[in-house]
A and B are shown apart, each in its own frame.
Chain A
Amino acid sequence: MSQCEMVAMLLAGGKGTRLLALTKKVAKPAVYYGGKYRIIDFPLSNAAHSGITKVGVLTQYESVALNNYIGNGAHWGIDGYSSVAGILPPRQTEEGASWYKGTADAICQNIDFLDGINPKYVLILSGDHIYKMNYSKMLQYHKDRNADLTVAVIDVPYEEASRFGIMNVNEDLSIYEFEEKPKKPKSTLASMGIYIFTYKTLRDALLKDAKDENSEHDFGKNIIPNLLAKKKRLFAYLFKGYWKDVGTISSLWQANMDLLTPQDPLNLYNDDGFRILTEDNRALPQYVGSNAKISNSIVNQGAEVLGSVKNSVIFTGALIEEGAEVSDSVIMPGAIIKSGAVIHKAIVADNVIINGSRKENIDGKDVVLLAK
Chain B
Amino acid sequence: MARILGLCNLHNAPKLGSLTENRSIASMSFLGRYSFIDFTLSNFANSGIDQMGILVESELRSILKHIGSGRIYNSNTKTGFCSVMFNEKFSDNNGYNNDIANLIENHWVLDQSNADYIVFAPSHIIYRFNFKEMLDYHIKNKAAVTMLYYKAKNARNSDIYLDELELDENGRVLTIKANKGANESSNISLDTYIISRNKLEEFLKLGQKTSMFFTLRDVLSYIASKIYIYSYEYVGYVRCIDSIKNYKMFSLELLNHDVLKKLFDVNWPIYTLTNDTPPAKYKENALVKNCFISNGAVIDGTVINSIIGRSVVIEKGAVVEDSIILTDAHIAENVHLKHCIIDKYAEISLKKELIGSENIPLVVKERNKI
Q: Which residues in A have some Cβ–Cβ distance to B below 8 Å?
A: 34-36, 268-269, 275-278, 280-282, 284-301, 309, 313-314
With the chains together, A280 CA to B290 CA distance in Å?
A: 25
Asked, given contacts A282-B270, A285-B292, A288-B289, whether A298 binds B280 with beta carbons under 8 Å apart, the answer is: yes
How many Å from the CB of A145 to the closest CB on chain B?
34
* Contact status B295-A300, CB under 8 Å: yes
How many Å from the CB of A120 to the closest CB on chain B?
30
* Contact status B281-A295, CB under 8 Å: no
Residue ID in chain B nearest A316 by CB atoms: B279
> Is B192's beta carbon under 8 Å from chain A?
no
* Contact status B289-A292, CB under 8 Å: yes
Asked, given contacts A268-B278, A277-B276, A298-B278, whether A282 binds B271 with beta carbons under 8 Å apart, the answer is: yes
Residue ID in chain A nearest B313 by CB atoms: A269
**CB neighbours of B292 from chain A (8 A):** 285-288
With the chains together, A281 CA to B277 CA distance in Å?
A: 12
**CB neighbours of A309 from chain B (8 A):** 282
Interface residues on B, range: 35 or more
How many Å from the CB of A48 to the closest CB on chain B?
11
* Contact status A290-B289, CB under 8 Å: yes
With the chains together, A35 CA to B280 CA distance in Å?
A: 9
* Contact status A36-B293, CB under 8 Å: no
Most B CB contacts (10 A, CB to CB) among A35, A285, A299, A301 go to: A285
Q: Which of A35, A290, A296 contacts B283 (CB 8 A)?
A: A296
Most B CB contacts (10 A, CB to CB) among A281, A291, A295 go to: A295
With the chains together, A309 CA to B280 CA distance in Å?
A: 13
Q: Which of A34, A275, A284 contacts B276 (CB 8 A)?
A: A275
**CB neighbours of A296 from chain B (8 A):** 282-284, 286
Q: What are 17 of the A-B contact pairs (CB < 8 Å)?
A: A36-B278, A269-B278, A269-B298, A276-B278, A281-B274, A282-B269, A284-B264, A285-B294, A286-B294, A286-B295, A287-B292, A288-B288, A290-B289, A292-B288, A295-B284, A298-B278, A301-B279
Asked, given contacts A36-B295, A269-B281, A299-B282, whether A294 binds B276 with beta carbons under 8 Å apart, the answer is: no
> Is B362's beta carbon under 8 Å from chain A?
no
How many Å from the CB of B7 to the closest CB on chain A?
24
CB-CB contacts of B248-274 with A at 8 A, as 1s and 0s? 000000010100100010000111001
Q: Which of B257, B264, B286 contacts A294 (CB 8 A)?
A: B286
* Contact status B282-A294, CB under 8 Å: yes
Secondary structure class of chain A's binding surface, majority of residues:
loop
9 tightest Cβ-Cβ pairs between the two chains A and B: A35-B279, A300-B279, A285-B292, A268-B278, A282-B269, A298-B279, A290-B290, A280-B274, A285-B33
> Is B148's beta carbon under 8 Å from chain A?
no
Asked, given contacts A280-B274, A282-B269, A288-B289, whether A301 binds B284 with beta carbons under 8 Å apart, the answer is: no
**CB neighbours of A314 from chain B (8 A):** 279
> Is B291's beta carbon under 8 Å from chain A?
yes
> Is B6's beta carbon under 8 Å from chain A?
no
> Is B18's beta carbon under 8 Å from chain A?
no
Asked, given contacts A269-B298, A282-B269, A294-B282, whether A288 binds B276 with beta carbons under 8 Å apart, the answer is: no
CB-CB contacts of B277-315 with A at 8 A, as 1s and 0s? 111111111111111111110100000000100000000
**CB neighbours of B195 from chain A (8 A):** none
- Other 17 A-B pairs with CB < 8 A, given A290-B290, A293-B287: A34-B279, A269-B278, A284-B31, A285-B307, A288-B288, A288-B293, A289-B289, A294-B282, A295-B283, A295-B285, A295-B286, A296-B284, A298-B279, A298-B282, A299-B280, A299-B282, A314-B279
> Is B122's beta carbon under 8 Å from chain A?
no
How many Å from the CB of A335 to the closest CB on chain B?
15
**CB neighbours of B280 from chain A (8 A):** 286, 298-301
> Is B361's beta carbon under 8 Å from chain A?
no
**CB neighbours of A294 from chain B (8 A):** 282, 286, 288
**CB neighbours of A297 from chain B (8 A):** 281-282
How many Å from the CB of B224 to the closest CB on chain A?
40
> Is B70's beta carbon under 8 Å from chain A?
no
With the chains together, A296 CA to B33 CA distance in Å?
A: 23
* Contact status A299-B289, CB under 8 Å: no
* Contact status A299-B279, CB under 8 Å: yes
With the chains together, A287 CA to B257 CA distance in Å?
A: 10
With the chains together, A36 CA to B294 CA distance in Å?
A: 13
Q: Which of A35, A280, A290, A299 contacts B293 (CB 8 A)?
A: A299
How many Å from the CB of A240 to the closest CB on chain B?
22
How many Å from the CB of A290 to the closest CB on chain B?
4
How many Å from the CB of A272 to the closest CB on chain B?
12
* Contact status B281-A298, CB under 8 Å: yes
With the chains together, A36 CA to B295 CA distance in Å?
A: 10
* Contact status B278-A35, CB under 8 Å: yes
* Contact status A291-B293, CB under 8 Å: no
With the chains together, A26 CA to B293 CA distance in Å?
A: 30
* Contact status A289-B279, CB under 8 Å: no
CB-CB contacts of B174-187 with A at 8 A, as 1s and 0s? 00000000000000
* Contact status A278-B33, CB under 8 Å: no
How many Å from the CB of B145 to the closest CB on chain A?
33
How many Å from the CB of B175 to the closest CB on chain A?
40
With the chains together, A300 CA to B279 CA distance in Å?
A: 4
Residue ID in chain B nearest A281 by CB atoms: B274
> Is B53's beta carbon under 8 Å from chain A?
no
**CB neighbours of A280 from chain B (8 A):** 72, 274
* Contact status B295-A288, CB under 8 Å: no
> Is B207's beta carbon under 8 Å from chain A?
no
Most A CB contacts (10 A, CB to CB) among B33, B264, B278 go to: B278
With the chains together, A294 CA to B289 CA distance in Å?
A: 9
**CB neighbours of B291 from chain A (8 A):** 287-288
* Contact status A288-B290, CB under 8 Å: yes
With the chains together, A277 CA to B276 CA distance in Å?
A: 6
**CB neighbours of B284 from chain A (8 A):** 295-296
**CB neighbours of B289 from chain A (8 A):** 288-292
* Contact status A36-B279, CB under 8 Å: yes
**CB neighbours of B279 from chain A (8 A):** 34-36, 298-301, 313-314
Q: Which of B32, B278, B283, B290 contacts A285 (CB 8 A)?
A: B32
Asked, given contacts A290-B289, A294-B288, whether A285 binds B276 with beta carbons under 8 Å apart, the answer is: no
